[in-house]
Amino acid sequence: QQQVKQSPQSLIVQKGGISIINCAYENTAFDYFPWYQQFPGKGPALLIAIRPDVSEKKEGRFTISFNKSAKQFSLHIMDSQPGDSATYFCAASTTSGTYKYIFGTGTRLKVLA
């Protein structure tokens, strides 16, 4: 119940294409769903996050789509650029009590020039 399942493990996209990464969770107590971006040799950094009271959140080329009934959420990167090549982690947590995050296993994205 505490797992967050992320797919695909790796993704190759042409420049200008759309990158889509999916995550699924089971624990309905989760109410905060961030995405973290990690470049090689660096620590992850918050990219975008969503609460379950909305179905979509957009920040520039990055969009989170959230399906509460299916317990799934996804990251869409529009007009993907080589600079987007990184590892992306979805995560889930509850905003009450301890903010322990449960992370997905990560998706390594490569955008070809």
Binding site for other proteins (CB under 8 A): 6, 9, 32, 34, 36, 41-46, 49, 89, 93, 95, 98-101, 103-106
The secondary structure of residue 69, as a DSSP letter, is T
Measured CA to CA, the distance from residue 18 to residue 110 in angstroms comes to 12
Sheet holding 56-59, edge to edge: 4-7, 19-25, 72-77, 62-67, 56-59
Min CB(100)–other proteins separation in Å = 7
Q: Which of 112, 108, 107 has the alpha carbon at shortest distance from 5? A: 107
Q: Which is nearer to other proteins, 80 or 88 (CB)?
A: 88
* Closer residue to other proteins in complex, CB, 3/72: 3
Nearer to other proteins, 12 or 78 (CB): 12
What's the closest the beta carbon of residue 63 comes to other proteins, in angstroms? 18
Taking the complex as a whole, the smallest distance from the CB of residue 79 to other proteins amounts, in Å, to 26
Shortest distance (Å) from residue 29 CB to other proteins: 15
Distance spanning both ends of the chain, measured CA to CA: 40
**Residue 42 token pair:** 């660096």
* CB-nearer residue toward other proteins: 63 or 107: 107
- Compute and round to an integer the Cα radius of gyration of the chain: 14
